[in-house]
Amino acid sequence: MSAAAALRLDEPSFEPCPVENVPGPVESGILILCDHASNAVPPDLGDLGLPEAEFERHIAYDIGAAAVTRSLARRLGAPAILTRFSRLVIDPNRGRDDPTPERLPFALLGGIDAIGDRVAVKRRMLADV
């Protein structure tokens, strides 16, 4: 079974793919993960009702983390997985039972309830991947 099949990433509802896979031999004994690599938002969520400038801030992603991860993977000859969606959409290092309020980023940005509801649905979908 391929990794894409195991993670169900080939389903049409997951376009664009929620992760970027950097190939590398598993024999390296290392797997590098980068969970806040991107500030992108799935097309069906639009701009989340936020000004473009908000997506350039740390609240949207870890600035520079993707480049560091790719560089480490190349230097170490190891595979890496980077998330492709902003932490404003999903925070992949948190479990479903995490007590952090689901709308915390939106509360910090002044609250966006209608968009927040759509994001909550998308988060649940992505959490099942």
Q: What is the pLDDT of residues 20-77, one digit of tens each?
A: 999 999 899 999 999 999 999 888 888 887 888 988 998 889 999 999 999 999 999 9
CATH of the domain at 11: 3.40.630.40
pLDDT at 38: 94
pLDDT at 125: 57
pLDDT at 59: 85
Q: Which of 47, 29, 31, 38 is nearest to 83 (CA)?
A: 38
Q: What is the pLDDT of residues 94-115, one digit of tens each?
A: 776 766 645 455 545 554 444 5
Domain hosting 48: range is 3-127
Q: What is the pLDDT of residues 119-128, one digit of tens each?
A: 665 556 555 5
pLDDT at 64: 96
Q: For the chain, how many helices (H) and strands (E)?
A: 4, 3
Q: Which of 78, 82, 79, 80 is nearest to 66 (CA)?
A: 82
* Residues near 91 by beta carbon (within 8 Å), at least 6 away in sequence: 35, 36, 100
Q: Which alpha helices (DSSP H) does the chain contain, by range?
A: 3-7, 65-76, 104-108, 113-127
- Cis omega before residue 16 (within 30°)? yes
